[in-house]
Structure 1
Amino acid sequence: MLSSIAGFFDRMVRRYLPDAFLFAILLTIIVFLLGVFFTNSSPVQMVEYWGGGFWNLLEFAMQMSLIVVTGYILANSPIVKNILGKISKLAKTPGQAIVLVTFVAAIACLINYGFGLVVGALLAIHVAKRIPSVDYRLLMASAYSAFLLWHGGLSGSVPLTIATEGHFLEDMLGIVPITETLFSGFNLFIVGTLLITLPLLNRLLMNSTQGTGKIDPELLNLQANQVEETVETPKEEMTPADRLENSQILSLIIGILGLVFIIYHFVQNGFDLNINIVNFIFLFLGIIFHRTPRRFLNSVTDAVKNAGGIIIQFPFYAGIMGMMVTSGLSEQMSLWFVNISTEFTLPLFSFISAGIVNFFVPSGGGQWAIQGPIMIPAAIDLDVSTAKTAMAVAWGDAWTNMIQPFWALPLLAIAGLKVKDIMGFCVMVLFFSFIPISIGLLFF
């Protein structure tokens, strides 16, 4: 039955789900119409909200583009290829490949979401090279399914925000330590259950693929970062510029400077593995591991080809967020769930409402800024744990990422796939994960 359901969703998604760019356009139209019909906003105002928010994610778009580029550069280095190759040898069969990629990617996502997206995709490519009979689409879907755990891990924006002095809800919440959020009993139950069951679920989904996801060897070689080394000019024929481009000393000097800053960052800030420091680590390790500026730049040239989807699509999602927030649509959605909640059901309805809002506002920090001021007063009025309510919003944000292409774009860029190639499997993950998350929020 599971295979039949998964096969059905896979067929429907591959047939009817458009390219991720068209998906963003359709969402834009839907939110525009919702704003006109369900808020006091006129069509002209909705256009104003859309255009006004269009460029609000430029910094984030650059960060995610660099995640793809620097991750590709690092993975293209001989050292990392060797490490990922050794990890991939732990899998001997297609089933083991699915389990290995899901588990490793999940651990990486618990450490940091950007790190997890890149590691999952790159490991999947190395595993697919060793086990070409594995379904490549399901393998990449398995890597992306691990992203479900990110908001319950060390880079979760909601728990880290409310644990930071000076956050915008401090007057209501105070400072909430991560012992009450990330390391609470209910969160550990959800994380632990998903960490064990997701690899098994993805393994069971193998029976639904029926050999439809065999990878083209040429694409796999391309995505496996098999960049041809440039033929280097003999030393006696090098110009001064050639010598600089092929200088290992220059790469080593700038690489060491980068490593010194990385060490300084962790000494000063503790284990603060944010997206900027992840990019910084990837970039400077890439410079060192490629040994010369010329080899590094050759890898950069290939890497930037993968970032096009992110660069062009993220502004459209920023425009959608602008319409959702400024028109009051996101607030209306949240208030509706608050109005039907009780002391027992508020965490569950906070989770569901966050999942719906996340579909249109796919940003953890941005979503918390919208829903936090609504959900936390409701929790206080109903005498519900504010820490659990905050984590319910966090898990809702992570939950519908499984059917929202926004976060899948970096992984898909590395994999060389389209969103419809993996989303049918992710629908199954969405339905399944509702169970342990709901149990954790209601009964722990």
Structure 2
Amino acid sequence: MKAVTSFFDRMVQRYLPDAFLFAIILTIVVYVMGVLFTDSGPVQMIEHWGTGFWDLLAFAMQMSLVVVTGYILASTPVVKRILERISSLAKTPAQAVMLVTFVALIACLINYGFGLVVGALFAIHVARRVPTVDYRILIASAYSGMLVWHGGFSGSVPLTIATPGHFLEESIGQIPIAETLFSPVNIFIVLFLVITLPFFNRYLLKSTDSLQNNQAVTWNIPEEDDPESAATINATTPAEKLENSQWVSLIIGVMGLAFIVYHFVLNGFDLNINIVNFIFLFLGILLHRTPRRFLDAVGRGVKNAGGIIIQFPFYAGIMGMMVASGLSAQISNWFVSFSTEATLPFFSFISAGLVNIFVPSGGGQWAVQGPIMMDAAMNIGADTAITAMAVAWGDAWTNMIQPFWALPALAIAGLKIRDIMGFCVMILFFSFIPMAIGFLFF
């Protein structure tokens, strides 16, 4: 275990570039593959890339708000006190890693954006409590919670196909979450990872002795923000008094909560991205108590979305090339070509993991692979709900080696992607076990 983990850590430290360069390299790779393996020529591939470059601006804004509003809520005094109390449960490095992993898994099951942010912030709290823990593995453990997001309440695929009017409704109808999120295969995979992943990450911790050559390592843990700093301002002008008025936050916060209640009364448990951002935003306004404190938190949180803002268009361009050239369809159809009723979910999972490296967006990937996999499932008699969940889990699985979704956690933690990727590769291998068992034998 030490030798394998050490090998992957050395490889990524030496050869893995910054996440932005990773996106550029993927762009070049997909361009060359499109020219070589599809009917699109060099000029057409450039056209596909440029045409698709701005196609995901709305989704990029949603994802940026997930990070920013998640940070705003997680940095409120109330939530920070909760995190501090929970972090006090960790007394040793092993306990620290297990605790961070478990909290990140539960948070990502609730909502992946909140889980990403809370996992990283909680890891920082724990690192301050247990300074001898390997900080890199602690952040990798926080990021490993993303493995379960598509099997939780913010999974874009199960929520999409349960929504009236989704783009595949004419062919597959509406598939309720009872057949996807609460299916035996999904429950098995989620429970397996929630129970075992903390122990696996603890086991990975033992490999860090050899990685650090038994030398003491000092980690640059980010300093703690002070959300109460704005309270020291002596408001003298009408504008300053308005900015520090609790009544302003209370009025607009209550309005926001009223709409949230109205939404759930009218639509049931419809936890889409927009309503999640809405909840985070207005709870953040209320719990920060004054507009000034809220805006200070916004200023700190926005910097964590920088990587998403600049890189998402590049991935939209990659997706444009993958879809318009037919490259993604070729990959999916190749797996379908040798699938049977029993094996289609498993090979859908594998193909989704491969496509996710180039299209790291659950909703975007479903738009690419959903029609192909659902058509194949209906033609050979496979379960459409389980096949859809296989695509969802494939998307979540290879997030461990796709830097895109690690960007918010890394920005909060002050690390580079190469600092955690060696450990994430090992987590990728381990998590394959329950997913393969689930889709082959359930």
Task: Place the TM-score, normalised by the shorter chain, in its bin.
Answer: over 0.9
Distance of 1:204 and 1:281 partners within structure 2:
37
Q: In the alignment, residue 45 of structure 2 is paired with which amino acid?
A: M
- Corresponding residue for 2:95? 96
Deviation at 1:328, TM superposition (A): 0.4
Matches within 5 A, 1:294-305: 294-305=292-303
**3-state SS of the aligned residue for 2:206?**
helix
Distance of 1:155 and 1:231 partners within structure 2:
35
Distance of 1:364 and 1:50 partners within structure 2:
20
Greater Cα offset, 282-291 or 52-61: 282-291
Q: In the alignment, residue 20 of structure 1 is paired with which amino acid?
A: A
- Once the two structures are superposed, residues 158-183 of structure 1 have per-residue CA deviations (whole angstroms, 9 ceiling, x without a partner) of 22222223333233323222222211
- Corresponding residue for 1:436? 434
- Once the two structures are superposed, residues 359-411 of structure 1 have per-residue CA deviations (whole angstroms, 9 ceiling, x without a partner) of 11111122122212222222223222222211111111111111111111122
Q: Check if 1:270 corresponds to 2:272.
A: no
Q: In the alignment, residue 94 of structure 1 is paired with which amino acid?
A: P
- Corresponding residue for 1:220? 222
Deviation at 1:214, TM superposition (A): 4.9
**3-state SS of the aligned residue for 1:225?**
coil
In the alignment, is the contact (CA less than 8 A) between 1:114 and 1:278 conserved in 2?
no
Deviation at 1:231, TM superposition (A): 7.3
Distance of 2:194 and 2:234 partners within structure 1:
52
Distance of 1:155 and 1:298 partners within structure 2:
28
Q: In the alignment, residue 277 of structure 1 is paired with which amino acid?
A: I
Distance of 2:375 and 2:245 partners within structure 1:
60
In the alignment, is the contact (CA less than 8 A) between 1:32 and 1:323 conserved in 2?
yes
Distance of 1:73 and 1:388 partners within structure 2:
36
Distance of 2:82 and 2:415 partners within structure 1:
24
- Corresponding residue for 1:146? 145
Distance of 2:187 and 2:233 partners within structure 1:
56
Matches within 5 A, 1:79-90: 79-90=78-89
Greater Cα offset, 282-291 or 88-97: 282-291
Q: In the alignment, residue 59 of structure 1 is paired with which amino acid?
A: A
Distance of 2:176 and 2:303 partners within structure 1:
41
* TM-aligned CA distance change 1:263 to 1:21, over 3 Å: same
Greater Cα offset, 433-442 or 384-393: 384-393
- Corresponding residue for 1:255? 253
Dislocated runs of 4+, deviation >6 Å: none
% identical equivalent positions: 71
Deviation at 1:271, TM superposition (A): 2.5
Deviation at 1:233, TM superposition (A): 4.7
Distance of 2:164 and 2:234 partners within structure 1:
58
Unpaired stretches in structure 1, ≥5 consecutive residues = none
In the alignment, is the contact (CA less than 8 A) between 1:259 and 1:284 conserved in 2?
yes
- Corresponding residue for 1:191? 190
Q: Alignment partner for residue 322 of structure 1, among 320, 345, 364? A: 320
- Corresponding residue for 1:40? 39
Distance of 1:168 and 1:246 partners within structure 2:
46
* TM-aligned CA distance change 1:214 to 1:242, over 3 Å: same
Deviation at 1:215, TM superposition (A): 5.4
Deviation at 1:278, TM superposition (A): 2.4
RMSD between superposed Cα atoms in Å: 1.9
Normalising by the residue count of structure 1, what TM-score does the alignment of the two structures yield?
Answer: 0.94
Q: Check if 1:229 corresponds to 2:232.
A: no
* TM-aligned CA distance change 1:171 to 1:60, over 3 Å: closer
**3-state SS of the aligned residue for 2:89?**
coil
Q: In the alignment, residue 106 of structure 1 is paired with which amino acid?
A: L
Q: Number of aligned pairs?
A: 438
Matches within 5 A, 1:173-184: 173-184=172-183
Q: Check if 1:10 corresponds to 2:12.
A: no
- Once the two structures are superposed, residues 64-101 of structure 1 have per-residue CA deviations (whole angstroms, 9 ceiling, x without a partner) of 22222223333332222111101111222111111111
Deviation at 1:228, TM superposition (A): 7.6
Q: In the alignment, residue 145 of structure 1 is paired with which amino acid?
A: S
Distance of 1:379 and 1:231 partners within structure 2:
59
Deviation at 1:146, TM superposition (A): 1.2
In the alignment, is the contact (CA less than 8 A) between 1:55 and 1:318 conserved in 2?
yes
Greater Cα offset, 368-377 or 135-144: 368-377
Deviation at 1:10, TM superposition (A): 1.2
Q: In the alignment, residue 320 of structure 2 is paired with which amino acid?
A: G
Distance of 1:233 and 1:325 partners within structure 2:
53
In the alignment, is the contact (CA less than 8 A) between 1:351 and 1:395 conserved in 2?
yes
Greater Cα offset, 66-75 or 225-234: 225-234
Greater Cα offset, 170-179 or 415-424: 170-179
